[in-house]
Structure 1
């Protein structure tokens, strides 16, 4: 089975690299210190501080492995290749929700860097997938959990 590549913007790559560095240099050291302190309490068989620290260590190591794997499979979207003629990964698209008469601006990113709270949506999400390849002025029907909604593409920027 071929591993799926991880599509990232330059900003997303930097964030993952920064997170990885933080985990490796700061969090590992903090957890190791907590384990050392818990061992000093003595009997490990009934030492909840030790158990918690070991669990946290496992979570940190798992996150490090996950981020390293993402970086191995990463393909950074070249900003010079991003056109503002059509919606693509790396573009910001302003759309009008025709049902609620609201204007929303989404940045389309790879799934690894999606953050709906910051309106950075994945190219694999229902909204992102439907908007890909669309041009200014197009009206699209988007299947969402509550049914179908219509968006009109107002503006596309890089």
Structure 2
């Protein structure tokens, strides 16, 4: 059964670019390394050949995984999302009620999460606790370590 994965258009383009890079540049480079190692003689004791074949196997595994991800990807249409409550592609400004700190996060598919850019996966405990909440609501979130936190939703918009 196919494991459908929701992505943004930008995320799908990134997956396709990575696949193209692997197929167009990395695959021929490894084939060349195998050919060079094969030219050096006895393959039974040729560490270079073994290393190149192992690298080829790992590359083909990665290519296959990317091909599956692309085949099972479904692009999220931001215009179809309810902007009145937190959902995937929402940009949410929240306030930690315990310490008054304010943070802004974009909720994105797991493959596009990047905390340094303020993008968190919808599968994180904080995102799961925010999903479905509306502007001004309080989200009670329990973290994996058992800590309970409360966040107030200060601002909410869907990113296009």
Q: TM-score, normalised by structure 2?
A: 0.86
Number of aligned residues: 157
**Equivalent residue for 2:154?**
154
**Equivalent residue for 1:34?**
33
Contact conserved, 1:35 with 1:53, CA < 8 A, in 2? yes
- How far did 1:118 drift? 3.4
Cα deviation code 1:110-148 (max 9, x no counterpart): 223333443322222222222111112111121213322
Shift in CA distance, 58/83, structure 1 to aligned 2, threshold 3 Å: same
Shift in CA distance, 115/47, structure 1 to aligned 2, threshold 3 Å: farther
**Equivalent residue for 1:47?**
46
Structure with larger Rg: 2
Contact conserved, 2:30 with 2:52, CA < 8 A, in 1? yes
- Structure 1, unaligned runs of 5 or more: none
**Equivalent residue for 2:128?**
129
**Distance in 2 (alpha carbons) for counterparts of 1:59 and 1:71:** 18
Contact conserved, 2:125 with 2:144, CA < 8 A, in 1? no
RMSD (Å), alpha carbons: 1.8
Q: TM-score, normalised by structure 1?
A: 0.87
Cα deviation code 1:20-47 (max 9, x no counterpart): 1111111112211222222222222222
- Structure 2, unaligned runs of 5 or more: none
Question: Where does structure 1 differ by over 4 angstroms across 4 or more consecutive aligned residues?
Answer: none
Shift in CA distance, 42/119, structure 1 to aligned 2, threshold 3 Å: farther
Q: Secondary structure at the match of 1:141?
A: strand
